[in-house]
Structure 1
C-alpha cells in the first residue's frame, strides 16, 4: 500500500498546519522541517529551471497545427515568421508575461514528483495559479482537497474589436509624426528610447543622451551626420509634444531625428487587414489545440497564463501595432541609401525583430545590438536572443538577428555564453552610461548622511520594497536623510508617508552616491550594481513574489535580504565587504573598444 503524502500549498509561514506531511510556501523564503520555500527552491535550481522554460517556449513554436508548426503558420513573409513578434515568444520582462508564475509552477511540479505527493490542498487566492495546480494534479493522479476552480476564459471577440479600433487610433495619434528623410547620405543609423537626455541642450541642436554621450566625437565620423530613430516613451510627454521637440532639434542639428513609429500611410491599411486575417486564422487553429501551452516534460498546462496574451498578439491591438511597425520599417529601410553602421538598444522587444529583418532584407551593413546595462539572470529576453544567435543554418522561421551583440559587462558576456551564443557574435564595449565610475570613488570626501532608496521600473515592486523598509526598526530610528530616487522611466511614486525624513529626488545617481551611507534596491535594479561599484553599502531586497534578477546575483560581498529583520541586520552591519575579485563593468573613458567597433 502506497503511503499517503499530503501537501499544503500556502502563501506564507503563518498558514503552516501540523497535520500535513509537507507545506510548500509560494511567496515566502521561510523554511523549516517539512516546509519548502518555493522562492528558495527556484533560486537553488535557477539554471535548470531557466533552461526548462526556454525549451518550453521553443516547444510551443514547434507545435504542429493544421498544416504546419506554429512558427511556420506565422510566416507572414516568405522569410519572416510573426512568431518572433508575439508577446509569448518575446519572453518579456514585464510582470504580465507571467514567466514568474510559470517558473514557480515548474518548480512545484518537480517538488511534487520528488516527494511523491498523493494529495494537495491549495491555500492561494490567485485563481489562475490554483486552477493550473489543480489541472496538473488531476493529470498526475494526485487527489485534491478542494473543489476544482475554473479559470475564466478570455472573451475572444473583444481583441478583434480592439484591433480595428487600434488602426483608427494609430492613424489619429500619429498623423503629425514625420518620417526620417531618406535624401540624406548619412550612413549611420541609431535606434534608442527618447528618455535620459538633457532637454535644455535641444535648443542648441545637441542630443545629449545618457545612452550615447560618452562616445563624443566617435559618432561624428560620418560627415553626413547620424540618423536617429527614437522610441516614444509614454508618461513624459505626448506624441505631439515629442514631435515638436524633435522638430526643434532638427532645425539646428546636422543629424536627423524622428520618432520610430510614424504616420500611417493609407497604402498600408489593406495589406495590414490581410495580415490580420492571416493571424486570426492561426488563432482559430490554436484554439482547437488543447495542448498548445502544455509543457511536455512536466505536464503543467500553462494555458491560463499564456492564452490571453497569445490571442492579443494575434487578434488584438498588439497585433495591429506590431504589423504596423514591421511594414513601416520595411518601407523606411528600403528608401534609405545603404547604411554602413546600425546600432540599437537591445532588449529583445518585438520591434527589434521587425527592424532587424528589414535591415538585412534591404542590404544594409553591420548591425549591432547594444546591451546598455548588465543582463539580469532571469531576463529571458536575452536568453532567447542568445539561443537564436547560434542558428547558423538558414531557415525561414529563424529569428532575424543582429550582426553582433555588444556587451559592456563580464556579467552579460557570461550570461550569453551560458546560453550558448557563439563567441564571434559577441563583442565587448565600454559601459557608456556608467563611464563616470572611472573617476573613482569619491564617497570618502563628503559627509555620508543619506539612506538612498532606489526605485524600480515597476510600481508594484516599489510598493513592496517601501512596505519592507518602513517596517524596519533602524529605518524608523535613523538620523540619516532618506531619499527616494524614482526610476527615470517610472513616474508613479509609491506611498512614502510611513518613512521619516524622506523626500524624492530625480538627481542623477552619480551626484547622490557620494553622500550615500547605504542604498536599498529592488532585486531587479541595475542601479544596485552602480551603487555597489561606487563603494556604497548596497542592500538588495529579494522579493519572494518575483524572481531574483539582481545584476549582483552571485557577486561576492553583495548583500541580499528577504525580511525586515534581515534588513535591520544588514543596515547595522559595519563590516560589509565591498571588495570584488574582477571588474563587473568594462570602463574606459577613452572608449577604445567602441572606436574599433565603429571604425
Structure 2
C-alpha cells in the first residue's frame, strides 16, 4: 500500500524573478527561474518540480489538502449565514449539497485532475514572491483565468492573452446581469432537454403505494448481461445475487437510473425492456425506471430553479466570488464555472430533476423496507439516502461494486462537508467486497463499525478462472486493455510503439472506444473483442490503461501488471499504491518494467483483493439479518 507522505520540499520564504509553468509533454527549455511541470512525470529537483510526480510520492498529503479545500468551500458563509441555507429545497435538504465540485466525480468533471494539480502548485507558491509568471501552450482556459487573477503579471508563451479582469467595462449591475443570463438561459433550455431525455411527461399518477416489497435495489440501467430476446434480468453489478433473491422468494423492486448505451440508446427502448422484465408470471420482482417526469415534478423544478436564480442574483453573486480570493480558498477559483453552474445552470436543473424524481420514487416504497444501492457518492445517492431515512427506514446498505481507488474522491466521507455534518446523506452500512476496498474506505474517513463484508458480485468468476489459467511459454502474450477515452488509449499505445517486444501483442479496446490499427503504424498488434476471462487465461504480461478494472482482475490472477500513468490525469488506477504493480509514463519506463518482470517475475506475495465465494455466504448473512429485523420491527 501507499506509504505516508515523504520527501516534501521544505518551503522557505524566497523571491524569484520568474516562474515557468510548463504544460507541454516534452522537456522544458532552459529557464532562469523555478519550473513547474504540469503534464510531465519526472523526479522533482530544486529547480524543477513535477506536479504529477508530487501527486504520486506525496499522494496522501495533497489528497487531504484538496479535500480540506472542498470542505471549506462547501461551508462558506454569506451575510453570516451558511450558503446552503440560501438553496434549501425543503426544511433541511439543500441544492448546494449537490454541487458538482463537492461530488468530486472524475467522470463528470473536466476540471477534476487539473484542480487537484492546482493545489500542488499553490502549496509551493505560498512562500514564493515572483515578479513574472510564464505559461506555456497548451493551457486550459480555467488555468489561464486563474493565473491572471492570482498574479499581477503573466506572460503567455505562444498564447493569446485574454484580460479576464477587464473583460466587462460596464457598470456593476449590468456586468452581473450579463454574467448570469447565459447560465440562466442554458438552464431553462436544459429543462426541456431533460424532459425529452426522459421520454416526455408521464401523465399517470406516480404515487401508487407498493404494498409488499421488503427489499429495494437502486442501480444503473447499464452493464446488463442479457441476450436480445431474453426477458430475465441479469446485471454485471449484481452477479448471482438476483438468483439468491429469487430462490428465497424475497419481494424486491429494482429502480434503475437510465444510462444511454449501444444496446439501449433511448429511454423508450429501455422502457420496453423494463416491460419485458415485469411480464414474468408469478414473479415477486418488479423493475422501474427512476426517470418519470410528472407535471408536479416539472412544476417543482421550474419553480425552484427560478427561485434559486433570483436568490443567487440578489443575495449571493455580489459576495460569493470575492470570498474565494482568500488565501485558503484561492485554488477553488479554478472551479468557479463548475460551482456556478451547479447553482443556476444546467447542472442545477439536472440536480433538481434528480431530487424530485427520487423523492417521488421513495414515497411509493413500503415502510421499514431495506434499501440496497451502488455506492459512488453521486448526487442521486444523497437524495435517496436522505429521503429513505426520513420516510422509510434506516436499513440502508451501500455497495462497493468495484474497488475504492485512491484518487476516486467520490468515496471520501467528510463530516465537515455540507450535507454530511449530521449524517443526513450517509448510509447506515457499507458493503465492502474485499480487503482492498475496506482499506480504501477506512482511509477515506469511514469507521470500522460502518462496514460489513460482502462478496464481490462483479468478480465471482475470478476464482474459477484462476484455477483454469494456462500460460503459453512458447508464444508469450502481451495483453493490452485500453481506455474508454481515445486520448488515453493513444497515450498508452504510443508507449508501446517501436519497442519491438518479443511477444504476441493483443489489444482489447474498450467497447466505447474502438481502436484502428491505421493510427499506430509502428506497432505490430492484433485487435480482439473476446471476453477478458478468455484473454487473461493465456496472458503473460498485462498492460492496462489508468482506470480499467481489468488491472484488478489480472492482479487477482497473479499476473504481472503494468499500468500506463498518463501525467495529464491523476492516477486513477485501482491498484495505485499496491506493491508489485508497475506504473509507467514513458517508453523507457515501460521497457525497464518489462525487463524487470522478465528477470524477477512476481517479487512479492500478492495481497487478497476480493471475496469471491460463489455461495454468497456473506450476502446471505446481510439479507437474512435484515429480513429478521424487518419482521421483528413489524411485530413490535
Matches within 5 A, 1:235-250: 235-236=261-262, 237=264, 238-250=266-278
Give the match for residue 571 of structure 1: 594
1:150 equivalenced with 2:163 (yes/no): yes
Give the match for residue 251 of structure 2: 225
The DSSP-based 3-state class of the residue aligned with 1:162 is helix
1:435 equivalenced with 2:460 (yes/no): yes
The DSSP-based 3-state class of the residue aligned with 1:76 is coil
1:534 equivalenced with 2:557 (yes/no): yes
Contact 2:454–2:619 (CA under 8 A) maintained in structure 1: yes
Task: Report how far residue 388 of structure 1 moved.
Answer: 6.3
Give the match for residue 541 of structure 2: 518
The DSSP-based 3-state class of the residue aligned with 1:192 is strand
Give the match for residue 50 of structure 1: 63
Task: Report how far residue 99 of structure 1 moved.
Answer: 2.7
TM-score, normalising length: structure 2: 0.83
Q: Distance in 2 between matches of 1:73 and 1:135?
A: 27
Cα 1:202–1:176 change in 2 (3 A) is farther
Give the match for residue 359 of structure 1: 388
Q: Which moved more, 1:525-534 or 1:150-159?
A: 150-159
Deviations 1:454-495 (Å, cap 9, x if unpaired)? 1334443223223333x34135xx551422231x5xx23344
Q: Distance in 2 between matches of 1:180 and 1:472?
A: 63
Task: Report how far residue 565 of structure 1 moved.
Answer: 1.6
Contact 1:450–1:518 (CA under 8 A) maintained in structure 2: yes
Cα 1:250–1:13 change in 2 (3 A) is closer
Contact 2:546–2:573 (CA under 8 A) maintained in structure 1: yes
Q: Distance in 2 between matches of 1:570 and 1:158?
A: 50
Contact 1:293–1:301 (CA under 8 A) maintained in structure 2: no
TM-score, normalising length: structure 1: 0.88
Deviations 1:298-331 (Å, cap 9, x if unpaired)? 563433x322222322223332222122112222
Q: Distance in 1 between matches of 2:387 and 2:229?
A: 30
Q: Distance in 1 between matches of 2:349 and 2:506?
A: 45
Cα 1:505–1:7 change in 2 (3 A) is same
Cα 1:446–1:2 change in 2 (3 A) is closer
Task: Report how far residue 109 of structure 1 moved.
Answer: 1.9
Contact 2:546–2:565 (CA under 8 A) maintained in structure 1: yes
Pairing partner for 1:161 from 185, 189, 193 = 185
Q: Which moved more, 1:504-513 or 1:100-109?
A: 504-513
Give the match for residue 4 of structure 2: none
Cα 1:329–1:22 change in 2 (3 A) is closer
1:103 equivalenced with 2:129 (yes/no): no
Give the match for residue 30 of structure 1: 42
Pairing partner for 1:451 from 458, 472, 478 = 478
Contact 1:186–1:223 (CA under 8 A) maintained in structure 2: no
Q: Distance in 2 between matches of 1:409 and 1:388?
A: 27
Q: Distance in 2 between matches of 1:517 and 1:407?
A: 30
Matches within 5 A, 1:194-343: 194-200=221-227, 203=230, 205-215=231-241, 217-220=243-246, 223=249, 225-236=251-262, 237=264, 238-252=266-280, 254=283, 255-262=285-292, 264-284=293-313, 285-289=315-319, 291=321, 294=324, 296=326, 298=328, 300-303=330-333, 305-338=334-367, 340-343=369-372
Give the match for residue 6 of structure 2: none
Q: Distance in 2 between matches of 1:387 and 1:202?
A: 49
Contact 1:62–1:69 (CA under 8 A) maintained in structure 2: yes
Pairing partner for 2:621 from 579, 596, 599 = 596
Q: Distance in 2 between matches of 1:17 and 1:42?
A: 23
1:406 equivalenced with 2:406 (yes/no): no
1:186 equivalenced with 2:213 (yes/no): yes
Q: Distance in 2 between matches of 1:529 and 1:324?
A: 35
Q: Distance in 2 between matches of 1:206 and 1:42?
A: 45
Task: Report how far residue 247 of structure 1 moved.
Answer: 1.1
Structure 1, unpaired ranges of 5+: none
Task: Report how far residue 543 of structure 1 moved.
Answer: 0.8
Pairing partner for 2:102 from 89, 103, 110 = 89
Q: Distance in 2 between matches of 1:539 and 1:482?
A: 15
Structure 2, unpaired ranges of 5+: 1-12, 169-177, 625-636
Task: Report how far residue 258 of structure 1 moved.
Answer: 1.6
Contact 1:389–1:425 (CA under 8 A) maintained in structure 2: no
Task: Report how far residue 352 of structure 1 moved.
Answer: 0.9
Q: Distance in 1 between matches of 2:259 and 2:184?
A: 25
Deviations 1:413-441 (Å, cap 9, x if unpaired)? 22222233222112222211112222225
Cα 1:458–1:324 change in 2 (3 A) is same
The DSSP-based 3-state class of the residue aligned with 1:325 is helix
The DSSP-based 3-state class of the residue aligned with 2:461 is helix
The DSSP-based 3-state class of the residue aligned with 1:329 is helix
Contact 1:105–1:300 (CA under 8 A) maintained in structure 2: no
Deviations 1:318-357 (Å, cap 9, x if unpaired)? 3222212211222222122225221111111111111112
Q: Distance in 2 between matches of 1:406 and 1:585?
A: 12
